[in-house]
Amino acid sequence: QAWKDKDLTAVAPTYPTFQWRTPVIAALRILGGQEVPKTWTLPQPVVTEDNFEAYYKKGMPPLHYGACGCEKLPGYPGDWGGK
Please report, as a single letter, which amino acid is at residue 54.
A
How does pLDDT run along the chain (83 residues), one tens digit per residue? 777 788 887 776 665 666 777 888 899 999 999 999 998 887 777 888 888 888 888 888 877 777 777 888 898 888 878 88
- Using a 10 angstrom Cβ sphere, with 0-12 exposed, 13-18 middle and 19 or more buried, the burial of residue 79 is exposed
Listed by start position, the domains of the chain span 1-83
pTM of the model: 0.53
Q: Given this model, what pLDDT does residue 20 score?
A: 77
Q: Given this model, what pLDDT does residue 10 score?
A: 72
Q: Given this model, what pLDDT does residue 29 score?
A: 96
Which long-range CB contacts under 8 A does 53-60 form with residues at least 24 apart?
56/1, 56/3, 56/4, 57/82, 59/83, 60/1
